[in-house]
Structure 1
Amino acid sequence: MKTDPLPSPRDFSLLLGAVVRMKHYSTAIRLIEQLRSLGVEDNHIWLNISLNCFCRLQRVDLGLSILGRILKLGFPIDVVASSTLIDGLFIQGKTDQALRFLDDMGRNGPEPDETTYAIIAKGLCRVGNTRLAIELLRDWEERGCRLNSFAYGIIIDSLCKKGFITEALRLHGIMSKKGVEPDVVTYNSLIHSMCDVGQMEGALVLLKQMTSGGIQPSIFTYSSLVHCLCN
C-alpha cells in the first residue's frame, strides 16, 4: 500500500478476488477500506466484492448499504449483486425478504439469471421448503427461464433426502428432456436413495445412464452400490 505509484485497480481487483476465494472476507473488506483511506476511488468491482463479503459474514444490512452506495455513485445494479444479496438473506433466514427481492428483480430488473434461480432453490431447500422450490421451478419453466443443472440438482437432492424418490426421478426425467445434463452430484443423490430402499436394479440403470453420458462415477457412487449389494 506504500508503493508510489500505487498498483493499478486491475491488480487490486485480482488481489481482492484471491482473498475472497480463500474466504478471508473480513480481510478483503479491510483492504478496500485502506484503499479508500489512500484516496483511491471506489469502482464497481470493489463494491460488488464488499457486498459479497458482508453477505458471507451474515451482515446483509451492511450489504444493503453497499447497494445504496452503488446507486449513489451511478453504477448499475447488476444480477451478480442482486443474486448475492438474495443468497445473503437466505443465509440469515430471511426467506420472505429474499423472495420479495426476487419479485422486485422481475419487475424492475436486473433480470434474474440461472445462478439467481439456483440460489433461490438452494435457499428454499435449506429451510425445508422443497415444495415451494418445486412450484417456483415449474413457474420458471413455464416462463421459459434458463435453468442450470445446479437448480434441478439441489431440489432433486432435497427430495431424495426426504424420501420422495419417485418425484426426484420424475424431475430428473424432466431436466433430461429439456437438455439440462445432470451432474455427478445429482446422480449420486438418486443412486444413493435408490440403494437405501433396496432398488438395486434402478440404481444400476442410473449408473448406466451416467456412464453413457460421459459422467465419471465417484467413490461415493460406488460406495452406495457396494453397500446396497452387501446388505
Structure 2
Amino acid sequence: MTSKTVTPNIRTFTTLVDGLCKDGEVKKARNVLAIMIKQRVEPNIVTYNSLMDGYFLVKEVNKAKQLFNTISLRGMTPNVRSYKVMINGLCKNKMVDEAANLFKEMHSKNMVPDTVAYNSLIDGLCKSRRIYDVWDFIGEMHDRGQPANIITYNSLLDGLCKNHQVDKAITLLTKIKNQGIRPNIYTYTILVDGLCKNGRLRDAQEVYQDLLNKGYQLDARIYTVMINGLCKEGFLDEALSLLSKMEDNKCTPDGVTYEITIRALFESDRNEILYIFIFL
C-alpha cells in the first residue's frame, strides 16, 4: 500500500497493529509502529492500547507496564480502555494488587469503570482466593448502576468452590436466580466441579440430572467434569457409561476427557478395557 499512491492513515495502521497483536505477532506490530512514526503518522491512544494488550498476550508484562507508564510522555492520557487492558492483563498474571491500585487510580481521576473492568478485577481476586474483597466491589457495582452479571457471579462461584465453601456457592446461585439472572452452562459446570472436588458426588449427579431433565444442551466441559468426579471416587463403570452417553448425545469428547478416562483405566489395572479403549 505504501509503495502506491494510497497512503495508510492512522486508522489503517492501528487496525493492522491491533490485528497483529491479537495474533501474538507483537514484534511485527512494533515494526508497523516504527513505519508509522517514520511516515509521520502519529500513533494514538488506541494504537498503544492494542500494543499493551499484545504485550500481555505474549507474557511481556513489564513492557506493557512500561508502555502504560510512559503514555503521558508521548503527549497522551490513558483512557478507560487503557486501564481496562492493564487491569485485565495484570489480573491474568496474578498481579492483583497492582490491578487494584490502577482501579483506585481510575476513581481518583473520575473515570468510571465499566462491568468488564469490574469483572476482570473480581476474577483476579477470586483466583487469588481473596473472596472477602469481592463483596465490596459487587456492592460498589450496584451503587454505580452497573450491577453484577452472570460473568461476575461465575467468578465468585468458582472462587467459593475452590475455597471449599460449596454451601455458600449454592446459596449464591439461588440468590442470583431469584434476582432474575439466568445461569449458563458454565455456571453449572463450576458448581458440579466444586461438588465433585468437595466430596459431594451424589449432589453433583443430582445437578447434572436436573440439567438433563430441563433440556440443557450439555457441552464437553461439563461431561468431563462429571466423568472426572466419577473416576476419582472409583466409579469407573459409571464414568465409561457417561462417556458413551456423551458420544450418543453428539457431544465430542476432547483431549482432557480421554486423558482422564485413560488414566483412570490405567490406575485401576483394567488393561483389557484400556487396550480396547485406545486401539478401537
Which position in structure 2 is the counterpart of 1:204?
A: 275
How high is the TM-score relative to the length of structure 2? 0.69
Check whether the contact 2:92–2:124 (CA below 8 A) recurs between aligned residues. Answer: no
* Counterparts of residues 164-179 of structure 1 (less than 5 Å): 164-179=235-250
Once residues 125 and 106 of structure 2 are traced to their aligned partners in structure 1, the CA distance between those partners, rounded to angstroms, is 17
Name the amino acid aligned to 2:234.
Answer: G
Which position in structure 2 is the counterpart of 1:46?
117
TM-superposed CA distance for 1:180, in Å, is: 1.9
Q: Which amino acid aligns with 1:160?
A: C
Output the CA distance in 2 between the equivalents of 1:177 and 1:119.
24
Larger Rg: 2
Distance 2:217 2:96 in 1: 31
Matched, 1:99 2:185: no
Partner of 1:26: 97
TM-score by length of 1: 0.82
Q: Which residue of 2 aligns with 1:217?
A: none
By how many angstroms is 1:126 displaced? 1.6
Aligned residue for 2:277, secondary structure, equals helix
Flag the 1:54–1:197 CA change in 2: closer, same or farther, 3 A: closer
In structure 2, what residue type is equivalent to 1:86?
L
Distance 1:12 1:135 in 2: 42
What residue is the counterpart of 2:134 in the other structure?
63
Counterpart position of 1:213 = none
Aligned counterpart, 1:112? 183
Q: Structure 1 counterpart of 2:113, which letter?
A: D
Deviation at 1:86, TM superposition (A): 0.9
Output the amino acid matched with 2:190: I
Which residue matches 1:220? none
Q: Indicate the larger mover: 6-15 or 79-88.
A: 6-15
Q: Which residue of 1 aligns with 2:66?
A: none
CA distance in 2, matches of 1:148, 1:104: 25
Q: 1:190 aligns with which of 261, 270, 273?
A: 261
Query: Which residue does 1:218 correspond to in 2?
Result: none
Residue deviations 1:83-128, cap 9 Å, x none? 1111121122221110011122333232111211111112112211
Alpha-carbon deviation of 1:185?
A: 1.4
**Which segment drifts farther, 13-22 or 131-140?**
13-22
Residue 11, structure 1, aligned to residue 82, structure 2 = yes
Distance 1:204 1:107, change over 3 A: farther
RCO higher in structure (CA 8 A, sep ≥6): 1
Correspondence 1:138 to 2:209: yes
Q: Distance in 2 between matches of 1:35 and 1:163?
A: 51
Aligned residue-pair number: 209
CA distance in 2, matches of 1:23, 1:153: 27
Q: What amino acid sits opposite 2:123 in the alignment?
A: N
| CA distance 1:184–1:146, change in 2 (3 Å) | same
Q: Identity of counterpart residues, as a percentage?
A: 25
Q: Which of 125, 139, 151 is equivalent to 1:80?
A: 151
Query: Structure 1 pair 40/106, CA: closer, same or farther in 2 (3 Å)?
Result: closer
The answer to whether the 8 A contact 1:118-1:148 is kept is: no
Equivalent residue in structure 2 for 1:163, among 225, 234, 237: 234
RMSD: 2.0
Secondary structure class of the residue paired with 2:275: helix
Task: Give the partner amino acid of 1:68.
Answer: G
SS of 1:58's partner is: coil
- 1:92–1:202 CA distance, 2 compared to 1 (3 A): same
Conservation of the 8 A alpha-carbon contact between 1:117 and 1:147: no
AA paired with 2:111? V
- Cα contact 1:113–1:146 (8 A) shared by 2: no
Shift of 1:149: 1.4
